[in-house]
Amino acid sequence: MAPPDERRRGRPRSVTADAILDAVESAGLDGFTVSGIASALGVRDGTIYNYFSSRQAIAMSAGTRALARLDLRSEHGDDWVDYLIGVNLELRRATAQMSGLSGYYLHGPYLPETLQVFDLQIDQVAGHLGLDVTDPAARDYAFILASFASTTTLNLLGAPTVPDDQVRAILRSILPALHSTLAGTPPTGVSWSALRSSLLKDSPTAD
């Protein structure tokens, strides 16, 4: 017999938040419905809402969980260009496996945990450049490079018909050119800390 709190909330033992997110990953962020997920799990729609308050909350949680699996700490290469190439090839593979993940990565809305993923990538780029990761200007500069790499990869090179070698070649060409043009100074008005605060303020809850 289920414990009293489970009976009251109507949570079958066989359904967990992770099981719901697994089903969403299979269906895709941009195509799933709560009814479809409930049907796939053999439960009523209301059971899903015992774990998540809305479809958006489910999508954000699934996107956050998928991005948290990216290996952002590993040494993808000896310098910042190789690091960003490695990270974005991994990101490209993740978005190919889960439809809608690219849109979540680029546009949100984000949970705080996703912003932490961005923070880690920015810190890694700044560190590879030999910059002080505690310096806001250094983090703004690293944000520009990291954001440019991911936007280019997902918007222009995301199609599965584009081979990895071509992605590597393009990023290896344009990233140093961007770095040379900016010469270590982020464009006027670019502030990762300000953008992060705004995104965090607007972040919906996943509960």
Name the nearest CA neighbour of 87 among 107, 71, 109.
71
> CA–CA separation, 160 vs 111, rounded Å?
28
Residue 206 has pLDDT above 60, yes or no: no
Give a yes or no: residue 189 inside a domain. yes
For residues 171 and 105, membership in a common domain is answered with yes
Give a yes or no: residue 62 inside a domain. no
Residue 183: CB atoms within 10 Å? 7
CA dist list (Å): 188 to 137, 185, 192, 207: 11, 9, 12, 37
Give a yes or no: residue 58 inside a domain. no
For residues 135 and 36, membership in a common domain is answered with no
Give a yes or no: residue 59 inside a domain. no
For residues 39 and 75, membership in a common domain is answered with no
For residues 117 and 168, membership in a common domain is answered with yes
Number of domains in the chain: 2
Name the nearest CA neighbour of 193 among 111, 133, 152, 150.
133
pLDDT (0 to 100) of residue 136: 95
> CA–CA separation, 117 vs 69, rounded Å?
10
pLDDT tens digits, 154-205: 999 988 899 999 999 999 999 999 999 999 999 999 999 999 999 998 877 6
The SS3 assignment for 147 reads helix
Q: What letter represents residue 167's amino acid? A: V
> CA–CA separation, 76 vs 120, rounded Å?
14
Residue 207 has pLDDT above 90, yes or no: no
As a whole-number percent, the residues of the chain with pLDDT over 90 amount to 84
Give a yes or no: residue 63 inside a domain. no
> CA–CA separation, 138 vs 145, rounded Å?
11
Give a yes or no: residue 61 inside a domain. no
Domain that holds residue 41: 4-51
Residue 103 has pLDDT above 90, yes or no: yes
DSSP letters for 97-139:
HSTTHHHHHHH----HHHHHHHHHHHHHHHHHTT--TT-HHHH
For residues 34 and 108, membership in a common domain is answered with no
For residues 77 and 47, membership in a common domain is answered with no
For residues 79 and 172, membership in a common domain is answered with yes
Give a yes or no: residue 172 inside a domain. yes
Q: What letter represents residue 31's amino acid? A: G
pLDDT (0 to 100) of residue 4: 44
For residues 106 and 195, membership in a common domain is answered with yes
pLDDT (0 to 100) of residue 173: 98
> CA–CA separation, 95 vs 19, rounded Å?
20
> CA–CA separation, 142 vs 127, rounded Å?
9
Q: Which residue has the higher pLDDT, 11 or 112?
A: 112
pLDDT (0 to 100) of residue 123: 95
pLDDT (0 to 100) of residue 142: 97
For residues 144 and 107, membership in a common domain is answered with yes
* Mean of the per-residue pLDDT values of the chain: 91
Alpha carbon 34 to its chain centroid, in Å, reads: 22
